[in-house]
Structure 1
């Protein structure tokens, strides 16, 4: 199956498809969620610490209970933040964009790859995407040393993990278009979808709900 403009446009108008990825679309939507997560982590450590001490000194029991209460409050806060984020995502489905993406460098064993995509007007343009990929592959020939160093640093072979936030490539390097680099894992894709990606010269499809998030499409719905 070729990931052509007709297919991409069709997918972009499929609200049911977007709704099915809404939970993943909330990731990175509200960065404030990091605060209760960090506090909960610290409180968990405190609860463990005070629980151990309270076995020999009961006066520390109240500190243990306070730590547990903080953990519960943080969990509730995370749930509420995520629920609000999902509501916002579902209320703005028209803003979610289907984008063509391309593998750049990665690990064939773990199937995690640095990839690029754009959410702008060129998001369905495979020629544009290939041209940027070629510039990255041939970065040693880039006359601008600042761009060369930046791109080499962005694509150095030490994959950061699947929760890495999309990073914007230098806009002058990408001809004025906002092109993002992000890591994607292809390990959960079925064989048919992986064959489709190979057929499309390592290009695949992502759904971007906002600038801090892009979700890999695991299958193409029937249409």
Structure 2
């Protein structure tokens, strides 16, 4: 199946589809969620250490309990913050964009790929995303600005580690004045038919962008 502008437009108007991805899309919407996550991590580490010490000195059991309570409180905070973020997403489904994306580099074994997409007016434009991809693939030949060329080559170095969760804006002077983003995507959850469609579409795939924080590849067209 070809990923045409008409198909992308239809998907963008499908609120039921967007709802099915809302939980994933809500991750990262509230950046304050990092606070209880980090605090909970340190509290869990502290509980482990104090538990070890309490074997020799029972007085440390109090600290174990305190750390455990902090962990529980952090978990509760994360759940409530995530629930609130999802509610916000569900109330603004019209803001969720469906975009064409393009694989640039990746690892077929781990199925992790650097890819590009735009959430602007050209988000359904296959020719546009291909033209940006061409410039990336041929940066050494087509880009005259050495600093810009070096930045693009650095952005797409083959060091995929699954750590690049946040979309990175490419220099707009390189992307014809449009805002184009680079992001790592994992394809492990994409079904077999969709992967075949991606091959048919020359490594282009479809993503849903929730305020450009949660950006998720479409797993299936079923």
Q: TM-score, normalised by structure 2?
A: 0.97
| Matching of residues 186-205 of structure 1 within 5 Å | 186-205=187-206
Offset from partner CA, 1:187-216 (integer Å, 9 cap, x none): 232221111111111100000011222100
The aligned residue for residue 156 of structure 2 is 155
Q: Is contact 1:162-1:185 (8 Å) kept? A: no
Give secondary structure in 1 for the equivalent of 2:173.
helix
The aligned residue for residue 207 of structure 1 is 208
The aligned residue for residue 171 of structure 1 is 172
The aligned residue for residue 20 of structure 1 is 20
Q: Is contact 2:164-2:183 (8 Å) kept? A: no
The aligned residue for residue 138 of structure 1 is 138
How many Å separate the matches in 1 of 2:161 and 2:154?
12
How many Å separate the matches in 2 of 1:63 and 1:86?
34
Give secondary structure in 2 for the equivalent of 1:214.
strand
The aligned residue for residue 3 of structure 1 is 3
How many Å separate the matches in 1 of 2:18 and 2:163?
21
Question: How many equivalent pairs are there?
Answer: 221
The aligned residue for residue 99 of structure 1 is 99
Offset from partner CA, 1:70-126 (integer Å, 9 cap, x none): 001100010011000000000000000000000001112222110000000000000
Structure 1 gap ranges (5+): none
How many Å separate the matches in 1 of 2:39 and 2:213?
23
How many Å separate the matches in 2 of 1:205 and 1:59?
57
* Runs of 4+ in structure 1 over 6 Å off: none
How many Å separate the matches in 2 of 1:24 and 1:132?
28
How many Å separate the matches in 2 of 1:112 and 1:205?
15
What is the root-mean-square deviation of aligned Cα atoms in Å? Answer: 1.1
How many Å separate the matches in 1 of 2:167 and 2:4?
24
| Matching of residues 59-138 of structure 1 within 5 Å | 59-138=59-138
Q: TM-score, normalised by structure 1?
A: 0.96
Structure 2 gap ranges (5+): none
